[in-house]
Amino acid sequence: MAALWQYILGGVVDGAIFALVAAGFVLIYQVTGIINLAQGEFVMIGGMTAASLTAGGMPLIPAAAIAVVVSAAAGALAYLLAIRPARNATPLTLLFITLGVDVALRGLALFVWGTNPYSLAPFSSGNAIVLFGGALPPQALWVLGTDVLVFGALYVFLRRTTMGTAVRAAVANPPIASTFGIPLRTFAFASFVVAAAIGGLGGVVVTPIPGVEYDAGLTYGLAGFVAAVLGGLDSLPGALVGGFTLGIVEHVAAGLLSPGWDQGIAFFILLLVLVVRPQGLFGRAARRA
C-alpha cells in the first residue's frame, strides 16, 4: 500500500510535466488544426539551455529566462520556416512536416550540446517532502506551481480578456472570425510561440529531477500527446487531467510490472482511448474523420 502511494506521488510529478506538454499540443491543435509532433523538443531545448548556461556559471533566473526565450524562438522559427510555407497542405503533409521539424531540432541539439547528459541544481534546497508516508522531491512543487501558473494564465487570458475571446472565436469558426478582422495567421504564429515557451518553461522546471539530454524531447513529446489525446486534444482542462492521469497510470503500472513497461502502457492507453473514445475524456465531438 505504501509502495502504491509512492508510485502515485511519482506519477503526479511526471503528470505535471506531461500536462504542460499537452497544453502546448492543445493550443496549437485548437488554433491551427495541426498535430505538432515536435512539441517535446521545446521541453528539451528549455532544459538543455538552462542546464548548459548554469553549468557555465550563469545564475538560475537569467538562465531560465533565456531558456524560455530560446524555446519560444525555436517555436517561432519552426512556424515561419516550416509550417507557414505549407499552410495550404493537407493535414497529413503538415503532420509529416512537424515530424521533420522534430528530427531536425533533435539533430541540432546533438550538434550544439553533444550526447552528454546535463543536470540542473534543484531550485530550492531542503529535504524531500513527506506526505502521508510518501516522499516528493522539493522540485516537484516547482513543477506543480508552474502548472498552476500556466493553466491559470491560459484560463484568464482565454476567458477574461478581449484578445482571448478573439482567439476562442477563431477556434470556433475560422472563416467567420476572419471576416470580423480576427488575424488568423497571427494567432497561428502566436500559438506556436506560446506553446514552445510553455514547453521550454516546463523543461526548465522539470530538468532538476531527471536531468536532460539531447534526445529527451522524444519521450516528453510522446507522453505529452498521449496526455493531450486522453484529454480530448481540443480541451485545456483535458490536457491537465490527461497529463496527471497518464503520469499516475504509467508510474503505477511500471511499479507493479517492471520499469520498462511504462511507455508501452502509455501507448496502450492511447490506442484504447483512440478506439473507445476518440474524442477523449473532455473533447467536444467525435473526430473520426
* Helix 60-77 / helix 184-206 crossing angle, nearest 10 deg: 140
In angstroms, what is the minimal distance from the CB of 81 to another protein? Answer: 8
- Contact stretch for another protein (CB under 8 A) within 6-14, 15-23, 77-85, 134-142: 77-85
**Neighbour tally for 57: CB within 10 Å:** 7
In angstroms, what is the minimal distance from the CB of 183 to another protein? Answer: 23
Measure the CA–CA gap between 12 and 137, rounded to whole angstroms.
11
- Is 100 a binding residue for another protein by CB under 8 A? The answer is yes
- Is 152 a binding residue for another protein by CB under 8 A? The answer is no
**Between 37 and 143, CB nearer to another protein:** 37
- Is 80 a binding residue for another protein by CB under 8 A? The answer is no
Best CA proximity match to 202, nearest among 78, 27, 16: 16
Near another protein by CB under 8 A: residue from 99, 136, 169, 281: 99
* Count of residues touching another protein (by CB under 8 A): 47
In angstroms, what is the minimal distance from the CB of 98 to another protein? Answer: 9
**Between 136 and 218, CB nearer to another protein:** 218
- Is 55 a binding residue for another protein by CB under 8 A? The answer is no
Residues 175-214 as x/- pattern, contact with another protein by CB under 8 A: ----------------------------------------
**Between 164 and 278, CB nearer to another protein:** 278
Cross-strand bridge partners of residue 12: none
- Is 271 a binding residue for another protein by CB under 8 A? The answer is yes
Near another protein by CB under 8 A: residue from 61, 92, 130, 285: 92
- Is 69 a binding residue for another protein by CB under 8 A? The answer is no
Q: DSSP string spanning the chain?
A: -HHHHHHHHHHHHHHHHHHHHHHHHHHHHHHH----TTHHHHHHHHHHHHHHHHHTT--HHHHHHHHHHHHHHHHHHIIIIIIGGGTTS-HHHHHHHHHHHHHHHHHHHHHHH-S--B----SS--PPEEETTEEE-THHHHHHHHHHHHHHHHHHHHHHSHHHHHHHHHHH-HHHHHHTT--HHHHHHHHHHHHHHHHHHHHHHHTTTT-B-TTHHHHHHHHHHHHHHHHTSS-HHHHHHHHHHHHHHHHHHHHHS-GGGHHHHHHHHHHHHHHH-TTTTT-SS----
Near another protein by CB under 8 A: residue from 3, 55, 80, 114: 114
Of residues 209-248, those binding another protein (CB under 8 A): 218, 222, 225-226, 229
**Between 208 and 217, CB nearer to another protein:** 217
Residues that bind another protein (CB under 8 A): 35, 81-82, 85-86, 89-93, 95-97, 99-108, 110-111, 114-115, 218, 222, 225-226, 229, 258, 260-261, 263-264, 267-268, 270-271, 274-275, 278, 287-289
